[in-house]
Structure 1
Amino acid sequence: MAQGGWISRWPVIRQLRGEDGRGDAARSARTDALRPRTEEADTVARSVCPYCAVGCGQLVYVKDGRVTQIEGDPDSPISRGRLCPKGSASKQLVTHPGRQTRVLYRRPHGTDWEPLDLETAMDMIADRVLRTRRETWQQEEKGKVVRRTMGIAGLGGATLDNEENYLMKKLYTALGAIQVENQARI
């Protein structure tokens, strides 16, 4: 049998083609009115799935400044238009109503979260990093110059791309951290 010939024998294919006299039975006005979510997009941005280190290409469809659909990018040499279940559901990362969109902070020994503006949160983080570096800095160990801190460590993740990992490594090295690792091993 010719390649693809067996598919043409499927009843639903014959119905949709109208070859078996029941074409209208397989269609409805609602079916004919349906349009792809991608059809009305104002812009389409190329992106990379954030879930793992594979780096599958994604097309992000946007209408009126809101993400309407995310699909696999057929031009991606990595995934050739395919996405795993997590990548297929990645639209929820930006559209789910339960997504946190502000910084929340729980004070030491506190029981409730309180909102903070981003600038305050970033200042708190910077202060703690600098204080930890200052308090744990080692200039020498056993008579050898080491210029390091053992109080700061970094663990990269599988969702980081090469450029992000490079910048993180440069930051940690500049801080004097020597415990820098990445768990992105596939």
Structure 2
Amino acid sequence: MGVRDWLGWPVLRQIGAGDPYGRGAAAKSSASEHLAPRTRTAQKVVKSVCPYCAVGCGQNVYVAEGKVTQVEGDPDSPVSRGRLCPKGAASLQLTTGSAREHQVLYRRPHGTEWESLDLDTAMDMIADRVIESRQQGWQWEQSGVRTRRTMGIASLGGATLDNEENYLIKKLFTALGAVQIENQARV
């Protein structure tokens, strides 16, 4: 091992640079010298709220050329003070994730393949099935007590839905007469 190899050791670099704790230039690698923050290219920063739970953590959404490029915690938020949970920190994938579908997919009963449907056809299919299930499971009364409910529909909301979506789903299913309404975030 030559003298040059010894001089490349981090401890010797720190002492030689007058940085014994390795918090300054001695800690930088050649790869990290050329790194730039992803937020530097943003054309604007939009204040937002994390869509996942009821806490309401603040987010800074960085936008460049009309596309979301980064989502970070908002340090000005009195709720989260710049911190996000793992789900909130990954909310960039809501808009830019490669696994995100941009069309309605349908698999017929006993089918093995997915097929694309237009949105109007899918909405009509859903509405027909909801109406039929509601009518088949409707109870006006049970044991002499007026119930006015349907036992043919239940809802289990997912944690990937935001507060507003969960609120609207709860209201919709209550209006339909369903009583079995639950959410994954509460279970």
Q: Per the shorter chain, which TM-score range?
A: 0.7 to 0.9
The question of 1:133 aligning with 2:144 is answered: no
Q: CA deviation at 1:159?
A: 4.9
Query: Which residues in structure 2 correspond to 1:1-186 (within 5 Å)?
Result: 10-13=21-24, 15=26, 26=28, 31=33, 34-160=35-161, 163-185=164-186
Distance 1:30 1:75, change over 3 A: closer
Does structure 2 conserve the Cα–Cα contact (< 8 Å) formed by 1:43 and 1:63? Answer: yes
Distance 1:78 1:157, change over 3 A: farther
AA partner of residue 125 (structure 2): M
Measure the CA separation in 2 of the matches of 1:62 and 1:108. 42
Normalised to the residue count of structure 2, the TM-score between the two structures is 0.74
Q: Which runs of 5+ in 1 are unaligned?
A: 1-7, 17-25
AA partner of residue 57 (structure 1): G
Measure the CA separation in 2 of the matches of 1:76 and 1:174. 35
* % identical equivalent positions: 66
Normalised to the residue count of structure 1, the TM-score between the two structures is 0.75
Distance 1:182 1:103, change over 3 A: same
Q: CA deviation at 1:74?
A: 0.9
Residue 14 of structure 2 corresponds to none
Measure the CA separation in 2 of the matches of 1:91 and 1:162. 17
Does structure 1 conserve the Cα–Cα contact (< 8 Å) formed by 2:50 and 2:58? Answer: yes
Measure the CA separation in 2 of the matches of 1:184 and 1:96. 22
Distance 1:85 1:161, change over 3 A: closer
Does structure 2 conserve the Cα–Cα contact (< 8 Å) formed by 1:53 and 1:160? Answer: no
Does structure 2 conserve the Cα–Cα contact (< 8 Å) formed by 1:53 and 1:184? Answer: no
Does structure 2 conserve the Cα–Cα contact (< 8 Å) formed by 1:53 and 1:158? Answer: no
Measure the CA separation in 2 of the matches of 1:160 and 1:30. 37
Aligned with 2:40: secondary structure? coil
Measure the CA separation in 1 of the matches of 2:156 and 2:94. 22
Q: CA deviation at 1:27?
A: 7.2
Does structure 2 conserve the Cα–Cα contact (< 8 Å) formed by 1:53 and 1:159? Answer: no
Q: CA deviation at 1:105?
A: 0.5
Aligned with 2:112: secondary structure? coil
Q: How many residues align?
A: 169
Distance 1:155 1:51, change over 3 A: same
Runs of 4+ in 1 over 6 A off after TM superposition: none
Aligned with 2:61: secondary structure? strand
Measure the CA separation in 2 of the matches of 1:144 and 1:182. 28
Q: CA deviation at 1:167?
A: 2.6
Measure the CA separation in 2 of the matches of 1:85 and 1:173. 32
Aligned with 1:92: secondary structure? helix
Aligned with 1:101: secondary structure? coil
